[in-house]
Structure 1
Amino acid sequence: MDATVLDRLRQAMRGEVVAPGDIGYDEARSVYNAMVDRRPSAVARCVDVGDVRAVLSLARDTGAELTVRGGGHSGPGLGVADGAVALDLSPMRWVRVDPEARTAQVGGGSRLGDLDHAAHTFGLGLPSGINSTTGVSGLTLGGGHGHLTRTFGLTVDSLLSADVVLADGSFVTASEDEHPDLFWALRGGGGNFGVVTAFTFRLHPVDTVTVGLTAWPVDRASDVLRWYREFLPSAPEELNGFYAAMAVPPGPPFPEEMYGRTVAAVVWCWAGEQEGDRLERLLASVNDPAPPDFHFTAPMPLPALQSMFDDLLPAGLQWYWRGDFFDSISDGAVEVHQRFGADLPSGLSTMHLYPIDGAAHRVGADDTAWAYRDAVWSGVIAGIDPDPANAEALRRWCVDYWEALHPHSMGGGYVNFIGENEGTERVRATYRSHYDRLAEVKRAYDPQNLFHRNQNIRPAAA
């Protein structure tokens, strides 16, 4: 960036601007996925709406490429780009809970752990993801699913309003009553429409949950999946459970003799009544597909569950992922999962099937930009390893697995599980018939496509 332009940005902002050559630049440009190594011309660390407006003004006036970074958890690293100005929301990391109204206002740079901690003290929670390090912004704008989806719906189903700085620098609050078309688009349409500086969510009464983990021999994965595809959709909505092909990590609650063993597993979350034996009676059928190698349940505060995988998956690992939606787990898909799930390329690589039925199905198909209210699972295949030398092996396994599985999918995938170079048609498939409406909203709020470093929805032609 030209030194004069850089000085102008620094003078306009209260927050720090970090450029190449500055102390802390490498830390400022780093993202969760270490496979992404990009050098922005500046990282503008915004502390308030005024800073956000200053960065957008500079981008409009100079024609500089712009990226927007929330929690930095994006798999394809869309928050940074070579030569671009990275609008970094991470300093805007705050949460305010109103326990009487059961709502939370959340800053655009916050992470799920910030919200979980603030809400939990009042016995409240939000359906969100499965890692406390995930950014609230990216997760929410993509739709948001995790441990509580069957019980309380998608994250966007609890969104009440969003404060947004638009491409022209204007500031609006989008809700059902104000800018309802923008509010509709924000609930699943990704970061295409503006910079969300704050979210307001409806919270739900949830405190202690029962966490479970059942692991079977990987050679019985086909039997487990055939059982799981029938069992979970018919189970009470208080029961969530995602299927995983995984290697057993070292440490509790697993016995030492299982460390490193590849298994077919389900991670359970029971958000219903904690007294009595209802969960035990429900999970008695885990023996039906095959005797499990391991079965464990225990009560746990919700924030502890949300952070359970944080140490296993810290920032700085190599990641490559792809995803799809499924309305069923067909016999053909079962065969693919059996074959690839037994041949993980590394100890951290995995495949998850997240249930997205239950409460998520009670929202109308056209009520939000999320276009797959009829999907039952959201699948993700993730190649993960700390060693950059293994990056190509991770990518090849992930792509081969996805290409074999994709014919058994519904055609589109969760926008947050789409890679950077999967193409416009992939984005269209993700939004189905909603794409044209999203393009109209894009034309209204970002006609010049300033926000295009994302899974981009191009403005509709005038």
Structure 2
Amino acid sequence: MTVRSKARTALAELREDLAGDVFAPGDPGYDDARTVSDAVPDRRPAVIARCADAADVVRAVRFARELDLRVAVRGGGHGVAGPARVDGALEVDLRRMRAVTVDPAAEAVRVEGGATTGDLDRAALPHGLATTGARSSATGVGGFVLGGGTGWLDRVFGLAADNLLGVELVTADAERVHANADENPELFWALHGGGGNFGIATALTLELHELPEFSVALLLCLPGTGPDLVRAFREIIRTGPDEVGGAVLYLTGPPAEFPLLCGALLTYVGGESGLRGLAGPLLALPHEAEVVGALPYTDVQCLFDAPSGLRNHWSAECLTGLPDELVDVFHARADRMPVPACSRFVLFPHGGAVTAGPRPYPVPYRDAAWTVHACACWADPADDGPNRAWVRDACAGVRPWSTGAVPLDLIGDEGPERVRAGLGAGNLLRLEKIKRRWDPDNVFRFNHNIRPV
């Protein structure tokens, strides 16, 4: 009785103190607040604190520690590994904290922890500036950057984490700290790939770069053209400048006449004439549709936005190269994609500024030539088995060419060995010691978790 009374009193005080909103089971709006983009988990947090600012985050963490509640953090996006096991926990919801402040003179931007890639791009591009964002405008900036962050611009501007200038953090002790190259440098190192293990990132400061021109070539082909399309794309990447990037993919969709298509998206940091000179081998192949020309970068980000409310399952593998045998395996695994669905089987290149980026950070896939990303999205729960099995089979098929590393942003909960693969075995002990310094009780553990040593 005393415990329940204490909890009721603490909850009433949290409602009073928070500038944002508080939802508990039975409250109007609770079910909407707990809904996530992935329809698979049915999450029922004990309390949802939808914070309006960093002071709210401090109050929420103090509330959780006072009642010995587990803490899950919800940023602005839809990461497949997000707060997946939060029944009975406090969920700190950052989605009201979406302010993006650009400093054109310093070529830097401050992004609050609930902002999405779309929020970031829309704020920066009017100044002719950009930084590496995710391949979907709906992805949360915080989780993406702290997990490493590979996107359309990384061959030119480096990984998202390479552009991280500073982080404002609320720790497990409900303290506000800053981390940058001069202040808490060891923590700052860990935030370049170590994810949300060390605190709640209420804001990040990122370096921006000039992006005066951007153009794309987008082609859609019938599946039989797929192997030739992949090989042509591979050669463009191999011989082209760092300014060229993109992805080649198979995708499923609702049209009955085209349940499976192969596509290529060639991106170019430059004008249309330079792009056409590079895209010739792709355009020469048989295709059903094409778009070629200058395009706002924000429009490209939206191309890979998946419909909300679908069930989904993701995984990925980093690859040593893309030999012809692997191209054939990629095509064969794509041919098994379950339909109808809204799934994608993607190959995107690394190299350029990714490979040349800072070596000390805990990002173990810099030397990978390509990454394959299997992303199944479907509506009917009866299709769970075939779609999950396809993702497993697709990744198993390319594993003979795996580097052993993996981008943690692109996988779900696949066990501790995969976390090690995403952080780098040589980095893990150092990360565990930093975790012990900042979160010895492992309060922030609903993620790709690093346990305190």
TM-score by length of 2: 0.93
Cα deviation code 1:196-234 (max 9, x no counterpart): 101111111114411211233322433333343343133
Matched residue of 1:283: which SS?
helix
- Alpha-carbon offset, residue 11 of structure 1: 3.1
Q: Note if 1:178 corresponds to 2:183.
A: yes
Q: Note if 1:286 corresponds to 2:282.
A: yes
- Give the conservation status (yes or no) of the 8 Å contact 2:146–2:194: yes
The corresponding residue for 2:246 is: 241
Q: Note if 1:56 corresponds to 2:61.
A: yes
1:40 to 45, 52, 73: 45
- Give the conservation status (yes or no) of the 8 Å contact 2:232–2:281: no
Cα deviation code 1:375-403 (max 9, x no counterpart): 12222101112333322221121112222
Cα deviation code 1:34-91 (max 9, x no counterpart): 1122111111111112111112112222221110110141113326611111011111
Distance in structure 2 (CA, Å) of the matches to 1:194 and 1:361: 28
* Aligned pairs (5 A) from 1:24-423: 24-78=29-83, 81-247=86-252, 260-272=258-270, 274=271, 277-286=273-282, 290-310=285-305, 313-346=306-339, 347-366=341-360, 368-420=361-413, 422-423=414-415
Residues 235 and 249 (structure 1 numbering): CA distance in 2 closer, same or farther, change over 3 Å? farther
Aligned AA for 1:265?
A: G
Cα deviation code 1:363-383 (max 9, x no counterpart): 1322x2212211122221011
The corresponding residue for 1:255 is: none
Aligned AA for 1:363?
A: G
Distance in structure 2 (CA, Å) of the matches to 1:43 and 1:72: 16
- Give the conservation status (yes or no) of the 8 Å contact 1:383–1:395: yes
- Give the conservation status (yes or no) of the 8 Å contact 1:33–1:77: no
Aligned AA for 2:56?
A: D
Q: Which of 3-12 and 155-164 deviates more?
A: 3-12
- Give the conservation status (yes or no) of the 8 Å contact 1:46–1:52: yes
What is the aligned residue count?
A: 446
Aligned AA for 1:374?
A: D
Cα deviation code 1:329-348 (max 9, x no counterpart): 24443232111212221341
Q: Note if 1:8 corresponds to 2:6.
A: no
Cα deviation code 1:296-339 (max 9, x no counterpart): 312111112222333xx222111111111112124443232111
- Alpha-carbon offset, residue 5 of structure 1: 3.5
Residues 259 and 436 (structure 1 numbering): CA distance in 2 closer, same or farther, change over 3 Å? farther
- Alpha-carbon offset, residue 248 of structure 1: 6.0
Matched residue of 1:375: which SS?
coil
Q: Which of 222-231 and 32-41 deviates more?
A: 222-231
Aligned AA for 1:404?
A: G
- Give the conservation status (yes or no) of the 8 Å contact 1:72–1:79: no
- Give the conservation status (yes or no) of the 8 Å contact 2:149–2:161: yes
Distance in structure 2 (CA, Å) of the matches to 1:144 and 1:298: 26
Distance in structure 2 (CA, Å) of the matches to 1:320 and 1:235: 33
Distance in structure 1 (CA, Å) of the matches to 2:431 and 2:290: 45
Matched residue of 2:169: which SS?
strand
- Alpha-carbon offset, residue 157 of structure 1: 1.4
Matched residue of 2:57: which SS?
helix
Distance in structure 1 (CA, Å) of the matches to 2:235 and 2:303: 27
Distance in structure 2 (CA, Å) of the matches to 1:80 and 1:402: 25
- Give the conservation status (yes or no) of the 8 Å contact 1:321–1:382: yes
Unmatched 5+ stretches in structure 2: none
- Give the conservation status (yes or no) of the 8 Å contact 2:217–2:279: no
The corresponding residue for 1:434 is: 427
